[in-house]
Structure 1
Amino acid sequence: MADSWSDRSPLHEAASQGRLLLLRSLIAQGFHVDTLTMDGVSSLHEACLGGHYNCAKLLLDSGAKADVASADGATPLFNSCRSGSAACVGLLLQHGASVHSTHQLASPMHEAAIKDHRECLELLQASGAQIDTELPEVGSPLYSACGAGAAGCVEMLLLAGADVGVGCGRDSPLHAAVQRGDPSVVELLLDFGANMFDRNSEGKTPLDLSAPNSSVQFSLQRKRGPFSLSQLCRFCIRQSLGRSRLHRAPSLSLPHRIQDFLLYH
């Protein structure tokens, strides 16, 4: 957000500091809950950025708009994902906040993925957020998480059925993980079927981007051979089930061991 402080109201200050009693008093005095700064920041933005659940609830209960966007496209939901406040995320969703962003650089889903706030990401996904949305210059949530080394969110997205090949243009999530130098994320992507022979916009494969004699390079070299038959079957069955039906795998007439294998348990 822009660094504009001169037009911040006492309501903004109370919300940003989590001062619930002062906030309640100001509202009672007639301060309007949707007063905006010049750059479009509301008191609800401030409460959510600070992860102040009680202040956010008071503002919403007093009529604050859940989906107001600042000049740079940030919503209270985006700010909640930035701060990692799953409580604020859940509260906003209960008040009808949209999980979809109209701004290419302020997507709640991408922000939660980058910050490795897994619980926030799970709430967004459960509320209908598209996990494979690719934004220009930002890529998909999975790509963003890989680039940030957010292993928890990488795992959550893959288990939820994110497409392991959707990155940012021709750069795949595996390219991003290799450049980040995180062997655990690289291994995870490979286990979910990432193609180590994909070439990015510069014509380079993930192996080409790996640091010489690094653990990442070792992981890629160790898995250069073809996938096993069991892995190929798992990829095929998961794709056939589709993302929306993966959770129904336990209801299939299959031995528990095979069900666990399909779900990466």
Structure 2
Amino acid sequence: RGPQSQFTRAGVPAGFRSHPGSTHLNYMINFWSDRTPLHEAAFQGRLLHLRALIAQGFHVDTVTMDGVTPLHEACLGGRYACAKFLLDNGANAMAVSTDGATPLFNSCSSGSAACLKLILQHSASIHTTYQLASPIHEAAKKDHRECLELLLSRGAQIDLELPDVGTPLYSACMARAAACVEVLLYSGADVQIGCGPDSPLHAAVLGGGADVVHLLLDFGADGCRRNAEAKTPLDLSKPNSSVRAALLSRGPCSLSQLCRLRIRRSLGKSRLHRASSLFVPHSIKDFLLYQ
């Protein structure tokens, strides 16, 4: 966000001009780079002020020099009513800032499932070409479970690995976001794919999450895998830590666990939910689904 905006005595931001014969103000991007009252009202959730500004002629997609729109700000603040008002008045649900952020990404950042649903209803893409602004990675590392589940239900790539960022599971493990680690694992995320040679288990150890380590091991994480520095997760763990204790508490996988992992891999991510319809006893179904 830029510094505090400057205004004329008439209350109109500098850099706005009106077309002859029009009551609407047009944003001149070459002259205006700071946040406007529209951005501030959207971020703070001041719906009445937002309505008044639009009625006065502010353009609904007024942008700052870094491409931030009022809708970006409403979603970043988790302001559903303001976001809906902006969209109802023609705001672009797919606006992209110069750093690749979209209203959808900002909704994931704030953890507002309501804003995320709203943006998705306006056909916003869940995929991004900007690697540092991936909605699914943002939801995962911020531990916003409901947002993550929404993205996955809309077809987000669960094992999307980005350079220097890794997969959503890797990001969640590094951030010790246990709730989202659980969602990703139950949804079929590959427990071995992290960030290059670094696995999610390496990330969990570095993040200090013993609970996350237990989850990963339950889903078949390889405790002997070596990272880019040829270190195993145990090598990275601190002496006498709960993480180290979690790693040392596990022996070889049981035959039943190996069978469960094999069947889940055979079903694949897209068919895991169909395990409940298999012609096998309920106890086996529950076992396969970790219930």
TM-score between both structures, scaled by the size of structure 1: 0.97
Q: Does 1:196 find its partner at 2:188?
A: no
- Checking the alignment, whether the CA contact within 8 Å between 1:4 and 1:38 is kept in structure 2 is no
- Paired residue for 2:259? 233
Matched residues in 2 for 1:102 and 1:61: separation? 27
- CA distance in 2 between counterparts of 1:176 and 1:3 reads 35
Give me the whole-angstrom Cα distance separating, in 2, the residues matched to 1:42 and 1:246: 39
Kept after mapping to 1: 8 A contact 2:2/2:35: no
1:28 to partner: Cα distance: 2.1
Distance across 2 between alignment mates of 1:155 and 1:16: 31
Q: Which residue of 2 aligns with 1:53?
A: 80
Q: Which has the higher helix share?
A: 1
Aligned pair 1:79/2:102, yes or no? Answer: no
Query: Aligned pair 1:245/2:274, yes or no?
Result: no
* Equivalent residue in structure 2 for 1:32, among 28, 41, 59: 59
Q: How does 1:161-180 map to 2 (within 5 A)?
A: 161-180=188-207
Q: CA RMSD in A?
A: 1.0
Aligned residues: 263
Whichever residue aligns with residue 248 of structure 1, its letter is R
Larger Rg: 2
**Distance in 2, Cα, partners of 1:5 & 1:186:** 45
Q: Which residue of 2 aligns with 1:143?
A: 170
What's the CA shift for 1:5?
4.6
Distance 1:209 1:3, change over 3 A: farther
The structure showing larger relative contact order (alpha-carbon pairs under 8 Å, at least 6 residues apart) is 1
* Unaligned 5+ runs, structure 2: 6-33
Distance in 1, Cα, partners of 2:55 & 2:244: 62
Q: Secondary structure at the match of 1:16?
A: helix
Report the TM-score when normalising by structure 2: 0.88
Q: Please, which runs of 5 or more residues in structure 1 have no aligned partner?
A: none
Identity percentage over the alignment?
A: 71
The one-letter amino acid paired with 1:33 is: V
Displacement after TM superposition at 1:165 (Å)? 0.7
Distance 1:21 1:3 in 2: 24
Pair 1:218–1:65, CA change in 2 (3 A): same
Q: Which residue of 1 aligns with 2:130?
A: 103
**CA distance in 2 between partners of 1:167 and 1:29 (Å):** 50
SS of the aligned residue for 1:92 comes to helix
CA distance in 2, matches of 1:19, 1:116: 27
Render the CA deviation track for 1:35-70: whole Å, top value 9, x for unaligned: 100111000000000000010001111111111111
Give 1:182 shift. Answer: 1.1
Aligned mates of 1:74, 1:97 — CA distance in 2? 12
Q: Which amino acid aligns with 2:102?
A: T
